[in-house]
Amino acid sequence: METTFIEDEFDAVVIGAGHAGCEAALALARTGMKTALTTINLDNIAFMPCNPSIGGTAKGHLVRELDALGGEMGINADKAMMQIKMLNRGKGAAVQSLRSQEDKRLYHSLMKQTLENTDGLYILQCEVTDILVENGEVTGVETSFGSILKCKAVVIATGVYLNSRIVAGEWEQNMGPSGFAPATKLTDSLIRLGFKVRRFKTGTPARIDRRSVDFSKLEIQNGETEIYPFSFMTDKIPEKQEPCYIAYTNETTHKIIRDNLDRSPLYNGSILSTGPRYCPSIETKVMRFADKERHQLFLEPEGYDTNEIYVQGMSTSLPHDVQKSMYRSIIGLERCRIMRYAYAIEYDCIDSLDLKPSLAFKAIPSIFTAGQINGTSGYEEAAAQGLMAGINASLYLRKKEPLVLKRDEAYVGVLIDDLVTKGTNEPYRMMTSRAEYRIFLRQDNADSRLTEKGRAAGLVKDDRYAKYLERQEKIAELNKKAAVKIPAAECGEFVKNYGFGEVTAPLSPIDMVKRNIPLKDICEKFGLFNDYPYDILERVETDAKYEGYLKKGREQIEKAQKLEEKALPNDIDYQKIKGLRLEAQEKLNAIRPENLGQASRISGVSPADVAVLMVYLASRKEKKDD
pLDDT digits (tens, 9 = 90+) for 227-245: 999 999 999 998 899 999 9
In this prediction, residue 1 carries a pLDDT of 43
Highest mean pLDDT among 1-5, 71-75, 278-282, 423-427: 71-75
Q: How far apart are CA 481 and CA 137, in angstroms?
A: 56
- pLDDT category at 273 given cuts 50, 70, 90 is confident
In this prediction, residue 144 carries a pLDDT of 94
In this prediction, residue 555 carries a pLDDT of 86
DSSP 489: H
Q: Across-strand partners of 100?
A: 54, 84
Instruction: Give the closest residue to 606 by CA, choosing from 574, 583, 573.
Output: 583
In this prediction, residue 626 carries a pLDDT of 58
Q: Across-strand partners of 98?
A: 86
pLDDT digits (tens, 9 = 90+) for 596-615: 999 999 988 999 999 999 99
In this prediction, residue 618 carries a pLDDT of 86
**Stretch 446-461: mean pLDDT, rounded?**
98
Categorise residue 539: left if φ over 0, alpha if ψ from -120 to 50, beta otherwise. Answer: alpha
Q: How far apart are CA 144 and CA 431, in angstroms?
A: 39
Q: How far apart are CA 520 and CA 224, in angstroms?
A: 17
pTM score of the predicted model: 0.95
> What is the average pLDDT score of the chain?
95
Q: Can you give 389-433 as a three-state secondary structure string? A: HHHHHHHHHCCCCCCCCCCCCCHHHHHHHHHHHHCCCCCECCCHH
Q: How far apart are CA 407 and CA 441, in angstroms?
A: 9
For residue 97, give the 3-state DSSP assignment: strand
Q: How far apart are CA 554 and CA 453, in angstroms?
A: 20
Instruction: Give the closest residue to 159 by CA, choosing from 348, 426, 373.
Output: 373
In this prediction, residue 357 carries a pLDDT of 97
In this prediction, residue 275 carries a pLDDT of 85
- pLDDT category at 2 given cuts 50, 70, 90 is low
For residue 480, give the 3-state DSSP assignment: helix
- pLDDT category at 457 given cuts 50, 70, 90 is very high
The answer to whether the Cα torsion of 608, 609, 614, 619 is positive or negative is: positive
**Stretch 587-594: mean pLDDT, rounded?**
93
pLDDT digits (tens, 9 = 90+) for 499-538: 999 999 999 999 999 999 999 999 999 999 999 999 999 9
The answer to whether the Cα torsion of 75, 80, 81, 87 is positive or negative is: negative
Q: How far apart are CA 462 and CA 319, in angstroms?
A: 54
Q: Given a cut of 50, is residue 450 above it in pLDDT? A: yes
CB-hemisphere CA count at 13 Å for 349?
32
pLDDT digits (tens, 9 = 90+) for 25-62: 999 999 999 999 999 999 999 999 999 999 999 999 99
Q: Between 578 and 325, where is the model more confident?
A: 325
In this prediction, residue 271 carries a pLDDT of 85
pLDDT digits (tens, 9 = 90+) for 180-197: 999 999 999 999 999 999
CA dihedral 47, 49, 54, 59 (to 10 degrees): -120
Q: Given a cut of 80, is residue 625 above it in pLDDT? A: no
Q: H or E stretch including 202?
A: strand 197-204
